[in-house]
Structure 1
């Protein structure tokens, strides 16, 4: 296919390698099986092979004994890096490719099971591209019964994606986009987290919005007294939440050492319930997370906060901030019906990381600052 069409082709497939069954860690049947990406050049030559290192309930596959960072070069766009699916949630190899090798173009075959409200496919893949200042080519399976859908071409400032919805035909879509070449063989870039910094006027706009006096008043409106924090399970973790009530206000909620702060203003009548959520701890006893999220609850009671919902009508202006102990923070804004929304500005302010969004054109499902504390992962536990 690559040779006949004069193109570079990346394919995900099972890979087999024979070994001596008498020499551990070779399996008893005398062969390794790897979740493998292969790359063929435009003349049909095999130019790269990557073996997935972070397996997710893939008992048919082995973890490579000598995991490697794999890249390949093209004559038309320079260097690309490879990783697969669950890899994107770990430092090695996804972030390591960017920070240690300076790779800024990444190819990502995946079988991504969408998990609202924080890890929808296009939501997190776009967030990774933005946070790392990379181009990410994300190719997902389409398996409705497993909630697998959503592929895209993501760059720090642009996104082209297709996200089928439940009940739609099992039809794919070809995505084609022209993007600037980001990569070169120059030395590794400074850490890009999180996202390319926007022009200074965005920062000035943030400050002006923070001290805006509502029309017809002589002083800023005092926010309503916040409701009491409560616990709610979201994506199998026990989050601390506080309800987002009223037309505008300032809220804070803390979980362990992480404190999240929200300044908000509704642009539509409050007919849907929202919560500010914080989590600081191990997810599934494996990955250490610090998360600040503004989420739409699936109903009108606190018991519905944290449950999956994919649509919303409420338009919100907001500034979300957290005192993260990691610099690896992935911001995202997901609008109604799996539509991505842009981030006006994000960055560090003192010891806190924040993002802002004003003027949303679709209802807000989730605004999240998803922090990964890689050095606190529990690496000796199965997924």
Structure 2
């Protein structure tokens, strides 16, 4: 198996005096400066971008599907351990695969597992004998024990229930999309059942108990779990950040990409940066079905990140050191192996066994209906000159933009919106406030961010300064290029005054821009 190592360097930009200087600290809930002397801690995180095995033509049972994927996860986790990983994260549906959604209820149930109650401190690896729907749980527990590593795995869970109480099925079972955490001894220490389901009809939402998403490691860091669509809502991780002081979040996802604002890596980086937390994300790799994107985002410390977002990458392992703060006194001894290497640089490993030699894969994305936005085409400027425009929408939201755009004749539009947007085929409704600049092929909004239809030349937008007077609880920055990469965090700053006036500034401009946005979520106004 050939391994490919990629080292990423972040280049800092220079300042142009024509635009406002960065004043004060960036608005984040937490920063490393809040950490008391002696409480700073460093650990190594590993996340797996993975396309699970799902070929029923070569599988005699659900156990064959499960164990093929568990075996791959074992090889990836073992590789991560060689680089000193303390915690390893696998993607949503990474064991059972998305192919579990068929009309065959027997097949579906064969891909589910019984997950022990964390309060019982069960070590599944130590349980002998035949236990139905337990093979993957036992193997994963043994894996964590052997590798002495925290494992965060997403599984389809079956749980006994009372048939007289909805939504229990007639056979006395309920099914959940569940993250389970094993400690270094193979003990089940957390079991979080996804609360915010996304087009998952066989599952029921987990209980509204955010504490089930919490676990604390032997190195003193308290983590919160979340699964995919959860990142769009208050529960569980956002609430655990605000109420429990969590600074480190672990996420499994099978994301659905949507331009211009909701590409996986843009959401992940913006959420980490906007809240000032470290975020570790393992994503399902299936670009033909809008799914890819994983990474480690250090929003709590230096804003550096390392991510995988390439339709042709196949399976990829991201390993990155993370600096955090002890959030509670440790009750167990730090069991980290002091003989393992301590990495000081980002590492990406291609573990696809020659996948890159295959035909290029198609990447599909959804596209938001931008007709509901206020829109303004931005006139180009002369070299060295700036232009200022303003645009308002509902709830008193006004966006103000000062910019320079003289490097090309490409079309950019200022978008402004405050209100409900619909997702998942209009099934889900969330309340947003947005100020954004988006590349469009023409003045027609239907061409905005449509990189599947057009190939614009490269250029630079900016320098620029964008402001919005937001009423919502939290605003997340989004910066994406037209080749679907993140605009480096070092290229722009985000500040706020009185938690309402937010400013996004780039002193040097952003290269090959698709989207720069202040993306606000008004949770209290969700329908």
Q: Same fold (TM over 0.5)?
A: yes
Q: How many angstroms apart in 1 are the aligned matches of 2:304 and 2:164?
A: 52
Q: Residues 361 and 234 from structure 1, CA distance in 2 versus in 1: closer, same or farther, beyond 3 angstroms?
A: closer
For the pair 1:90 / 2:228, whether they are aligned, the reply is no
Q: How many angstroms apart in 2 are the aligned matches of 1:162 and 1:66?
A: 32
For the pair 1:374 / 2:523, whether they are aligned, the reply is yes
For the pair 1:242 / 2:376, whether they are aligned, the reply is yes
| Partner SS for 2:483 | helix
Q: Residues 47 and 364 from structure 1, CA distance in 2 versus in 1: closer, same or farther, beyond 3 angstroms?
A: same
For the pair 1:347 / 2:495, whether they are aligned, the reply is yes
For the pair 1:255 / 2:387, whether they are aligned, the reply is no
1:326 offset after TM fit, Å? Answer: 1.4
Aligned to 1:140: 283
Preserved contact between residue 314 and residue 363 of structure 1 (Cα < 8 Å) = yes
Preserved contact between residue 271 and residue 476 of structure 2 (Cα < 8 Å) = yes
Greater RCO, CA 8 A, separation 6+? 2
**Partner of residue 117 from structure 1, selected from 252, 260, 269:** 260
| Partner SS for 1:242 | strand
1:56 offset after TM fit, Å? Answer: 0.8
Which structure carries more strand by proportion? Answer: 1
TM-score by length of 1: 0.81
| Partner SS for 1:177 | strand
Aligned to 1:184: 327
Aligned to 1:57: 199
| Partner SS for 1:356 | strand
Please list, as runs of the form range in 1=range in 2, the aligned pairs for 1:226-305 lying within 5 A after superposition: 235-237=368-370, 238-247=372-381, 248-257=386-395, 258-266=397-405, 268-284=406-422, 286-297=429-440, 299-305=441-447
Preserved contact between residue 473 and residue 523 of structure 2 (Cα < 8 Å) = no
| Partner SS for 1:179 | strand
Q: Residues 28 and 137 from structure 1, CA distance in 2 versus in 1: closer, same or farther, beyond 3 angstroms?
A: same
1:301 offset after TM fit, Å? Answer: 3.0
Q: Which has the larger radius of gyration?
A: 2
Q: Residues 321 and 66 from structure 1, CA distance in 2 versus in 1: closer, same or farther, beyond 3 angstroms?
A: closer
Aligned to 1:129: 272
Aligned to 1:364: 513
For the pair 1:100 / 2:243, whether they are aligned, the reply is yes
The RMSD of aligned alpha carbons is 2.0
The gaps in structure 2 that reach 5 residues or longer are 1-142, 330-365, 423-427
TM-score by length of 2: 0.59
Q: How many angstroms apart in 2 are the aligned matches of 1:183 and 1:124?
A: 26
1:341-378 deviation digits (Å, cap 9, x = unpaired): 22532222364211111224631110011111100001
Q: Residues 328 and 66 from structure 1, CA distance in 2 versus in 1: closer, same or farther, beyond 3 angstroms?
A: closer
| Partner SS for 1:340 | coil
1:75 offset after TM fit, Å? Answer: 1.5
The gaps in structure 1 that reach 5 residues or longer are 187-232, 379-383
Q: How many pairs does the alignment contain?
A: 327
